[in-house]
């Protein structure tokens, strides 16, 4: 969920962040996502102190500097988060909604049992169709992405159980605190494929990313070929960004699709 942020100092010295959302259901979805991540007992997230249909209040995370040690710990914690699981691909957090958001874009959490089919139907094609309708993606380019969707059963790698995902894991949603830990904010949490969170970290960059991956692989080694599958998982965030921000991201999405077809 994206929205206006305000930091407020409470009596007693605690600072909280107050966030406003204009989209119906966005606050409920984010609050449920934060609680679902916290309930796993794995990653650090700011506690939800209150919310209504428009306002969300969470603890403030004291700012710090990312270190290699903190990055390794983050990788270990992220692997544990994913391993805590979800009822199904596309499952929303308990208390969340099927109609959720990733940033300012609507995102539907409709459960499915087959990741390639679910990913195509609910994470790639809705944004591709909107981008085509908006003129951001040309029809011949859309056909390339559609070919990837058709071949997902062979491109997806070994079957994996549904993982508990942050869902919008770009660098801006990872805060490095003064106590030497990574904290996660602004989730678009749902059940998904664990490589999707990692692909988003790769796409938009992350301090000490190699150390994050070292920690992750120590706890939960990734299946062979995961690096070659990054582009498949990046189609989702790239098409979301194409819908929100325009042609440059559409070109990146088409390039990722073409690369996936040649791997």
Catalytic residues: 168
User: Side-chain half-sphere of 30: how many Cα atoms within 13 Å?
Assistant: 36
Residue with structure tokens 């919008």?
168
Please check whether residue 169 is in contact with residue 200, taking contact to mean a CB–CB distance below 8 angstroms: yes
Q: Which two tokens stand for residue 170?
A: 């770009």
Pairing of strands 15-20, 4-9: antiparallel
Rounded to a whole number of angstroms, the CA Rg of the chain reads 18
Name which of 180, 166, 198, 187 is nearest 86 in CA terms.
166
CA angle 221, 226, 227 (to 5 degrees): 120
CA 165 to the chain's CA centroid: 7
Do the Cβ atoms of 29 and 92 come closer than 8 Å?
yes
| Nearest alpha carbon to residue 186 among 215, 201, 166 | 166
Query: Cα-flanking dihedrals φ and ψ of residue 195, to 5°?
Result: -65, -20
């Amino acid at each position: 969920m994206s929205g206006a942020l305000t930091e407020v100092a409470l009596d007693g010295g605690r600072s909280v962040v107050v966030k406003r959302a204009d989209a119906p259901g966005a606050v409920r979805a984010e609050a449920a996502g934060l609680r679902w991540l916290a309930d796993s007992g794995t990653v650090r997230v700011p506690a939800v102190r209150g919310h209504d249909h428009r306002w969300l209040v969470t603890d403030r995370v004291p700012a710090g500097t990312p270190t290699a040690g903190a990055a390794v710990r983050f990788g270990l914690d992220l692997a544990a988060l994913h391993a805590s699981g979800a009822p199904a691909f596309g499952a929303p957090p308990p208390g969340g909604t099927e109609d959720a958001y990733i940033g300012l874009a609507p995102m539907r959490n409709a459960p499915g049992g087959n990741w390639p089919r679910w990913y195509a139907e609910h994470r790639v094609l809705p944004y591709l169709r909107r981008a085509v309708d908006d003129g951001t993606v040309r029809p011949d380019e859309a056909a390339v992405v559609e070919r990837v969707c058709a071949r997902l059963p062979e491109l997806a790698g070994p079957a994996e159980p549904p993982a508990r995902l942050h869902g919008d894991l770009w660098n801006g949603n990872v805060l490095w605190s003064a106590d030497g830990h990574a904290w996660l904010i602004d989730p678009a949490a749902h059940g998904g494929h664990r490589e999707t969170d990692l692909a988003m970290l790769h796409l938009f960059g992350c301090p000490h990313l190699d150390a994050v991956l070292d920690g992750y692989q120590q706890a939960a080694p990734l299946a062979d070929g995961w690096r070659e599958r990054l582009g498949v998982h990046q189609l989702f965030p790239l098409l979301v960004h194409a819908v929100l921000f325009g042609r440059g991201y559409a070109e990146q999405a088409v390039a990722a699709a073409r690369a996936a077809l040649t791997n």
